[in-house]
Structure 1
């Protein structure tokens, strides 16, 4: 069977190295180091992908991907404007909205809230908040002065279903038409509402958001029929939302403020990307350090095989053959380490969530709390291009590590070496 001389020599040297204790240790350490680096890098990148996917699939499912908000005046005939927006190719749904920052008062306790006036039917097309209701039902918002609040608000004010609370909302003087320049602090609007539902999502969403039927909030804030503060929009690709929302705004014949999820929540995505980049650089350096242990192994192999190299040269072996034989010998460590690390990393990445849950159950701890984060588990999503990039990078570093020792082997002078034997 055909076998190139350089490959034959490399495999023979690899087998002969097993008997040398120190050389075997250095060789094994480089292989293990490369394997660990590749494995950890794949797992970390998968975890970052998991957080990114959780951000898109869960967190962005309850907040609008984008909003078009009237600047100088409310949007008139919002039905017509929504139909114009839906003509855009990448927009899935649009719903009217009114957002008001206010206070909720109950038994002497006060809590700041973000009140959202929503259409009960259309809001379910742009938000999945109804899926997180733990008490009551979404359609109960159709009751007179019914309000849906987050679990954080309910906990802060000790509220339960059926409780009557008071809303304190700012007057929008531009809509009321009674501007008084001497009135620095207008009397807030007050409204008694009844708790008809409580939702639990996690994080700041539970602590701030409250929902009421669109018509109720519209009447309370003094909007005319058919008017809306803005439109909530859902797109087919959340990471292209800024471009899609901006293009949709150009189609409206109304002066609007363009907002998307990156304006308020984009820091989450940016943090994930930053951690991803930092971890990638750090772990590539770890792989590089492990790969350059190959240098030590090959330098010892070259010094040990000087006589063999000299004899090969006198028999006509070219420098290319000798250099390739040592490069292949070093690459064996890289290939074994990368293969072991890649398969281990893929297995751990695919089972990371379950493994972390088992660790949490065994030690009785919880790494992520839904009260702080928007998820209570460690997500993982294996993206195979990340595996390919990691494997290719590790193999490239292993190849680079073999160049100098292999080149130094070609510079051995046969006459000088054989004269010392």
Structure 2
């Protein structure tokens, strides 16, 4: 006989339950329900982790982690200021930047753009935009009056390599005469530039961003030598960027506006967190409902085994032994369901991207479009901490579900039951 007695009794009852068709069906449904809930929760959490990782690895690879923009006046001697910022902990790279909103005009078509004046060498240390150039070369920005545009801009204006396009920018405030009537309605600066490159990243980045060399934009906008509108900063932990950038700004002896990626793209991260929380709550409820099917199974088992329980009590079995027998019997369902769900969930999470691609090929459709989102695939990043939390939660719910039916079993009176036999 197995030891302890409660485990032996529980295993005997589990085996005998297989002969009862209806009880076996209820038991199997609870096990399958728990398995499905655990599997889906692991897959969903892995997908959310994948979106976070894609956000950090791709979108934030071309968007500055943070920027320090001069207040009212440009930053003088930006090389010196960049060295000061680099001394801050967790700052990986710094590059000068000039951001200007303007328009591009070509053959009667006009498109609003965000012009970025960048240092060709230093910009590659804070951004990987160079890797997304599909036509032309990044180094061609060193040519006179050259510009690199996004695929969305090129599509809107029907531009291709070598085309000459007119760039219109507002006059900088620091260039305007405060006593001039033109301060209210300044004449826009115009410049004819040549398209030397086109990049394709996806989403809104392609639709608005254009790049010129830092020196060209500086001369065009009338900045003095070694002046920069601001500094772009790359950090080693994007999710701590607000704190890191703010601490770095304190070390500058120049008044600057402090901004980070969360100001423009933080809604994406917040949306991911919100969806994660909602899905976690919903799927935990699903697991709870499946777990409480164990209650039905055990109540049926208790009613079916009343005479056995009465005999065990007359033979000296304690209430705890009876209770543990039914707790273990119900908990076995939970363990089986959680095990099946965890194994299948881990497998699906590790192969989710490939599986979704196969489904897209099979049905000739696309779930995510790079023209709208910054990725065109469903990412997945399995964290085993999520698996542990899911498994422990499901096991806890399964265990809780066994308590009431097991307690009911201890309240059976042997004399009353045996007297009816």
TM-score normalized by the length of structure 2? 0.99
1:123 corresponds to:
123
8 Å Cα contact 2:2-2:8 kept in structure 1? no
2:68 corresponds to:
68
1:410 corresponds to:
410
Question: Take 2:175 and 2:276, find their aligned partners in 1: how far apart are those partners?
Answer: 47
Q: CA deviation at 1:178?
A: 5.3
8 Å Cα contact 1:173-1:179 kept in structure 2? no
2:164 corresponds to:
164
- Provide the aligned length of Structure 1 versus Structure 2: 421
Match of 2:120, SS state, is: coil
Q: Flag structure 2 segments of 5+ consecutive residues without an equivalent.
A: none
Question: Take 1:155 and 1:239, find their aligned partners in 2: how far apart are those partners?
Answer: 34
Equivalent residue runs for 1:22-37 within 5 Å: 22-37=22-37
Question: Take 1:391 and 1:311, find their aligned partners in 2: how far apart are those partners?
Answer: 37
Equivalent residue runs for 1:45-64 within 5 Å: 45-64=45-64
Equivalent residue runs for 1:172-211 within 5 Å: 172-177=172-177, 179-181=179-181, 183-211=183-211
Aligned-residue Cα RMSD (Å) equals 0.9
Q: CA deviation at 1:186?
A: 1.1
Match of 1:122, SS state, is: helix
Question: Take 1:179 and 1:10, find their aligned partners in 2: how far apart are those partners?
Answer: 93
Question: Take 2:181 and 2:196, find their aligned partners in 1: how far apart are those partners?
Answer: 39
1:310 aligns with 2:310: yes
8 Å Cα contact 2:298-2:405 kept in structure 1? yes
| Structure 1 residues 26 and 179: alpha-carbon distance in aligned structure 2, compared to 1, 3 A threshold | farther
1:328 corresponds to:
328
8 Å Cα contact 2:65-2:235 kept in structure 1? yes
Measured against aligned partners, the alpha-carbon deviations of 1:184-204 in whole angstroms (never above 9, x if no partner) come to 321100000000000000000
8 Å Cα contact 1:98-1:214 kept in structure 2? yes
Match of 1:121, SS state, is: helix
TM-score normalized by the length of structure 1? 0.99
1:5 corresponds to:
5
Q: CA deviation at 1:360?
A: 0.4
Match of 1:134, SS state, is: strand
8 Å Cα contact 1:176-1:222 kept in structure 2? no
Question: Take 1:96 and 1:179, find their aligned partners in 2: how far apart are those partners?
Answer: 31
Q: Flag structure 1 segments of 5+ consecutive residues without an equivalent.
A: none
2:296 corresponds to:
296
Q: CA deviation at 1:72?
A: 2.1
Q: CA deviation at 1:175?
A: 2.8
1:389 corresponds to:
389
Question: Take 2:180 and 2:319, find their aligned partners in 1: how far apart are those partners?
Answer: 93
Question: Take 2:317 and 2:198, find their aligned partners in 1: how far apart are those partners?
Answer: 81
